Amino acid sequence: MQTTICKFVALLATGLLSGAFMYGFLNVVPTFYEVPLNVHLIYRVQLMRHNGITMQTLMGLSFITPIWYAVLCKGSRAAKSFAILAACMALATFLITRFGNVPINQVIKTWLPSNHPANWEAVLQRWDTFNFIRTLTAVACFISFI
């Protein structure tokens, strides 16, 4: 029973993490570039404020629950290996976010919507690159676990 609950929570966490990053990558980020820059920056900063706790919680659960499952899983060596791979992908997602996107977010928060730096496009492009990579690792996390 404990293995079933753990598996359910791990599937839920990794699926929500993957889905959240895919939704952001496919829908939110393109929309950023289709509105005026001042709207883009205001929305991005507010989104950061709301995403902080939610996404960190999902990343943490996506790391912990596959490891928990690997410990509980008695039968299949492959199931344990894929669960550990899922945890590694969740950890990679967290590290990319923490050391790639978050420092850029901190810089973006200092920009005034009416007065942004000349290199704003390059900064956002760097954020987009990290976002793409962490989206891939989040999807790999989910696929590995399922």
C-alpha–C-alpha distance, residues 71 and 2, integer Å: 11
Q: How confident is the model at residue 73 (pLDDT cuts 50, 70, 90)?
A: confident
pLDDT of residue 52: 85
What are 12-66's pLDDT values in tens digits?
A: 999 999 999 999 999 999 999 999 998 999 999 999 888 888 999 999 999 999 9
Flag whether pLDDT at 75 surpasses 80: no
What confidence tens digit (pLDDT) does each residue in 87-126 have?
999 999 999 999 999 999 999 999 988 888 999 999 999 9
Backbone torsions φ then ψ of 145, nearest 5 degrees: -75, -40
Helix axes 77-96, 120-145, angle to 10 degrees: 170
